[in-house]
Amino acid sequence: MVENLGAWIASLTDAQTPWAFLFLTLAIALEVSALVRTLTRGYGVQGTIMWVVLILLVPVAGALAFFLLVSPSVRRVALKRRRAAAKLRRDSAARAGAPDREPKAVEGDALIDLAASLTDLPPTAGNEVELLPDDAPTFRIFEEAIAAARRQVWAEYYIIRNDLSGRRFLQLLIERARAGIEVRLLYDAMGSARINAKLVRELIAAGGRAHAFLPMNVLRRRFAIHLRNHRKLIVVDGETGFVGGMNIGNEYFRRHRPRSAAARQPFHDSHLRLRGPCIEALARTFSEDWHFAAKEVLPPSACVAPASAPPPASNGSIVAVIPSGPDQEFNASALAHFAAIASARRRVWLTTPYFIPDEAAIAALVSSALRRVDVRVLVPYRSDERIATMAARWYYGKMLRGGVRIFEYEPAMLHAKTLVVDGAVALVGSANADIRSWRLNFELGALVADPRFTRHLEERFVRDLADSREVTLEQVERQGWRTRAAHGVARLLSPLL
């Protein structure tokens, strides 16, 4: 490897031209910079070794690949965002005449306390939590909430497709902006690369605001292909919020016409409608993301529900909002999943479309199963990302030998991201159980402590199992060497997925 790099340098110096020496200087600087960043970025040993080998074996190209595919440092930006958010909270708390609308922290539950420590967002009681259907009625619920907005509509999405659902969603925002409602839209530059640009311009012309999150521009300081905003969020009037796994596209609302049904299978997903004090945490999350993307600090009053908002429900749910991303030293989604699985006493039921766990998650799942906890993992039988499915199946053998039960959902593309623990606590959001969601993506979820809600989610999980096939260890061990090799190659690419 070193000889390869030395021979490459020698070939350049033999050219004996000023341009060759200039290129050599720049190339060496690029190589050294990439190596230093690789060794100091604080990721796992396997990924670090992979990048060091690639940078040394393929000079320049390997370094360029590192800077294009690995997230840039956002810790300093995130620190500014957190300081701005803290100032918003201090200003909100100092506001005269509204102490009763400040969220009340809830103590006692270990997972809820962990979420609060990781995110600096206080959990709240008295919330209404509703699990929405994964078809056309959910879009109608979105539509009704946006149409009823009196003050503001904030929306943030990874994918807004240029199809019937995507165009109708943008038209709804345009209508509200024309009616004088404050409309703000954030969309991921890569996930929504095909968003209807004409309608976005119409939204801005109507008085709304729209920004792409981390635009795909190599000249920008924060340019990164690998760093994406995977959140799905709507906040209406500081009173109603929507979070979960559903993007804006026909497949999420089962709106396929016969001609296009074969092109993209419908998705089976999970999404929540929230009301109550937890909406302030959702609004703060959006406010921080807006500050990051638009360089605009929203006023503290914009994140607080008006005085006319309904009071918290006396028998409502405890909710902890969990934003996570590469700007966190300890990823909140990853640690919430790990702690929930590791602390379970009776059962852990996990649903995820992409199952590429790290070593910590594997240890948590297997150790819980070996403690005779009922550990079940539900994944899709057919995925929209074939290589991710192949990588997931590489882990089946180890999971099954450790006592974890694995089921593959057959009727549709399973896109739900849920976790239910002991019938007491549930996590629903945008984060998959994979390395990308736990290290690279900006994600958002809601941790709900309410036996009634978790019972409802467990009932849905049981119904989904009835439409699934259980994977057995015998099936895995009967796989031919070609299949095992393909799964192994896919697994090697898992740090990049």
- Where in the sequence is the domain holding 225, given as residue range(s)? 75-108+124-317
The predicted structure's pLDDT at residue 249: 93
Q: Which residues of the chain have pLDDT under 70?
A: 1-21, 42-44, 46, 69-108, 217-224, 255-264, 307, 494-497
Is 177 among the domain residues?
A: yes
Rounded-to-integer distance, Cα 408 and Cα 449, Å: 27
Q: Are residues 261 and 405 in the same domain?
A: no
Which residues share a beta bridge with 468?
A: 409
Q: Are residues 392 and 250 in the same domain?
A: no
Is 129 among the domain residues?
A: yes
Is 306 among the domain residues?
A: yes
Each residue of 236-259: pLDDT tens digit?
999 999 999 999 999 998 765 444
Which candidate in 134, 163, 230, 434 is catalytic?
230
- The CATH number linked to 346 is 3.30.870.10
Domain endpoint, select from 317, 340, 359: 317
Q: Are residues 40 and 96 in the same domain?
A: no
Q: Are residues 139 and 63 in the same domain?
A: no
Which candidate in 120, 384, 422, 467 is catalytic?
422
Which candidate in 211, 291, 417, 487 is catalytic?
417
b/e sequence 288-300, b meaning 16+ C-beta within 10 Å: bbbbbbbeebbeb
The predicted structure's pLDDT at residue 40: 79
The dihedral formed by the CA atoms of 78, 84, 89 and 92, expressed in degrees to the nearest 10: -150
Q: Are residues 270 and 373 in the same domain?
A: no
| 295 counts as catalytic | no
Question: Closest Cα to residue 371, out of 341, 351, 394?
Answer: 341
| 198 counts as catalytic | no
The predicted structure's pLDDT at residue 385: 81
Rounded-to-integer distance, Cα 139 and Cα 135, Å: 7
Q: Are residues 430 and 449 in the same domain?
A: yes
Phi, psi dihedrals of residue 469, rounded to the nearest 5°: -115, 135
Q: Are strands 267-268 and 374-380 parallel, antiparallel or unpaired?
A: unpaired
Each residue of 388-442: pLDDT tens digit?
888 899 999 999 999 999 999 999 999 999 999 999 999 999 999 998 899 889 9
The total of structural domains in the chain comes to 3
Domain endpoint, select from 256, 282, 317: 317
The predicted structure's pLDDT at residue 263: 43
Classify residue 255 by burial, with Cβ atoms within 10 Å: 0-12, 13-18, 19+.
middle
Q: Are residues 136 and 245 in the same domain?
A: yes
The predicted structure's pLDDT at residue 354: 94
Instruction: Give 143-200 as a DSSP string.
Output: HHHHHT-SSEEEEEES-B-SSHHHHHHHHHHHHHHHTT-EEEEEEETTTTTTS-HHHH
Domain endpoint, select from 287, 317, 347: 317
Which candidate in 134, 237, 358, 464 is catalytic?
237
Question: Closest Cα to residue 203, out of 221, 229, 185?
Answer: 185
Q: Are residues 304 and 385 in the same domain?
A: no
Classify residue 25 by burial, with Cβ atoms within 10 Å: 0-12, 13-18, 19+.
exposed
| 100 counts as catalytic | no
Question: CB–CB of 375/422 below 8 Å?
Answer: no
Q: Are residues 65 and 79 in the same domain?
A: no
Which candidate in 134, 163, 232, 337 is catalytic?
232
Is 116 among the domain residues?
A: no
Q: Are residues 161 and 296 in the same domain?
A: yes
The predicted structure's pLDDT at residue 14: 57
Which candidate in 415, 434, 450, 487 is catalytic?
415
The predicted structure's pLDDT at residue 9: 56
| 415 counts as catalytic | yes
Q: Are residues 377 and 391 in the same domain?
A: yes
